[in-house]
Structure 1
Amino acid sequence: MLGTTEIIVIVLVVLLLFGGKKIPELMRGLGRGVREFKDASRGVNEDEQKKQD
């Protein structure tokens, strides 16, 4: 598990690498990816339930 110090260091490194303006774009893309993954996994679960019925 990551501690507070490690998280702060990671955030600082990300800020140095990408800059403050790119971070919102990166987070938006990450959010879209997570949403697509959840939607896809929900679809798989629904398909499995239909096969069992």
Structure 2
Amino acid sequence: MFGLGMPELIVILLIAFLIFGAGKLPEIGEGLGKGIKNFKKSIKEIDSDSKKKIEGDKTKEEN
């Protein structure tokens, strides 16, 4: 996972806990999760659109 081991993740979580506090971490996690979900959805849409365009171009070349 991005070249991060368990010790590195623990240190990152501890720093986040110290900076934001226990109350904000669930909100931050939820926001990050939604952001990642939207990012993946956008990439899939772009990939799908690209494939459709390529297939359309191939069809035009065949005619």
Q: TM-score range by the shorter chain?
A: 0.7 to 0.9
27, 34, 37: which is aligned to 2:36? 34
Find the partner of 2:22 among 20, 23, 42.
20
Query: Which protein has greater RCO, CA pairs closer than 8 Å, 6+ apart?
Result: 1
- Give the unaligned 5+ runs of structure 2: 56-63
Distance in 2 between the 1:52 and 1:9 partners?
45
CA change 1:5–1:50 in 2 (3 A) is closer
Percent of pairs with identical residues: 42
Q: Residue 16 of structure 1: CA displacement?
A: 0.8
* TM-score computed with the length of structure 1 as normaliser: 0.83
CA RMSD of aligned residues (A): 1.3
Q: Which runs of 5+ in 1 are unaligned?
A: none
Distance 1:16 1:38, change over 3 A: same
Change (3 A) 1:4 1:46: closer
For the pair 1:46 / 2:48, whether they are aligned, the reply is: yes
